[in-house]
Amino acid sequence: MKRSEEDLLLEKILKGQPASADLVLGPGDDCAVVRTHGGIGLLKTDCIAEGVHFLRGQDPARVGWKALCRPLSDIAAMGGEPRHALITIFSPPDLAAGYWVDFYKGIRKAARRFGVTIAGGEMSRQPQGIAVSVALTGTVPGGRFVRRSGGRPGDLLFVTGRLGGSISGHHLDFVPRLKEGRWLAGTARVNAMMDLSDGLGSDLPRLAGACGFEVDLASLPLRKGAGIHGALTDGEDYELLVAVPPQRAATLLKKWKTAFPATPLTRIGTLNDTGAAPEHWPGGWDHFSVVSARRLGQRSDGLTPNRRGQRT
């Protein structure tokens, strides 16, 4: 299965990196997993950059909400609960200090809602452009976390919520699926899970791994105004993609409707043993591809519908 330029670069730069005995799961999933004195811990870092993930003229409070909720979505994909965050901001000289006051309103709003303690951070000047990095810790109830690589041929593929059209505002206002992720990991005991941030076109091959997959495109749950191509390639949906053993699917759907009646859970396809994506399967956002770079440069507003920081 064709791999993205981003994934290939990560493989090169991470080769031979030192590890320790308490590292349970390193680079390549939504979060790193480590053993702690209290059980299992999660580590995650994420970033946003002006012109890639947001625009200067957008409400700073919404940008702050997004900055913290992006790594929260990765914690959700592991079935975890967030704990502490460190916020690092890079501020250009032409930006008034009041921007950061408003930005932190969004940070605090998300932190209060999802039980995150802002433990500290750093500030730095840079020549141009705004950038923010968030480092986040989490825990896993019962020590059971879900990898993205646990799917098996025959597993059924489901997504939460709706896909596509994130540029209309969803990418700034989304709510990470933390409760749903914990439920899917604990109660439903799904085989694999990840958050959809680069778009289904890029993220589904990552979850499939050595498996192949097939997707019923007509079944994709679409956000208002979005089409099938957008559902595959727009990115920044921040929904959960899960692989479920077929014998558990009927029970999962029945219990889901009781637990989360306002959130759709839609079957979209199946993992198979072909080791390949369907013919003409599109890719989503890739920070290191020439095509994605051109798409970013061609937009008059400087912001592409697919905005995603590197996974670690």
pTM of the model: 0.88
CATH number assigned to the domain comprising residue 102: 3.30.1330.10
Q: What residue type is assigned to position 270 of the chain?
A: T
Q: In whole angstroms, how far apart are CA 135 and each of 72, 142, 208, 235, 294?
A: 10, 23, 27, 22, 30
CATH number assigned to the domain comprising residue 173: 3.90.650.10
Q: What is the pLDDT of residues 98-133, one digit of tens each?
A: 999 999 999 999 999 999 999 999 999 999 999 999
pLDDT for the residue 73: 98
Domain range holding 170?
156-278
Q: What token pair was written down for 175?
A: 């709510």
Confidence tier at 38 by pLDDT (50, 70, 90): confident
**Residues 241, 128 within the same domain:** no
pLDDT for the residue 300: 39
For 251, residues 6+ apart whose C-beta sits below 8 A from its C-beta are none
Could you tell me which residue, 155 or 292, shows the higher pLDDT?
155
pLDDT for the residue 297: 45
Any idea which of 6-10, 125-129, 180-184 has the lowest mean pLDDT? 6-10
Number of structural domains in the chain: 2
**Residues 134, 192 within the same domain:** no
Q: What is the pLDDT of residues 269-278, one digit of tens each?
A: 999 999 999 9
**Residues 209, 112 within the same domain:** no
6 inside domain:
no
7 inside domain:
no
10 inside domain:
no
181 inside domain:
yes
14 inside domain:
no
Average pLDDT over residues 236-253: 97
290 inside domain:
no
**Residues 132, 184 within the same domain:** no
Q: Running DSSP on this structure, what letter comes out for residue 191?
A: S
Q: What is the DSSP string of 211-263?
A: SEEEE-GGGPPBPTT--HHHHHHS----EEEEEE-HHHHHHHHHHHHHH-TTS
**Residues 273, 161 within the same domain:** yes
**Residues 135, 178 within the same domain:** no
**Residues 212, 256 within the same domain:** yes
**Residues 95, 160 within the same domain:** no
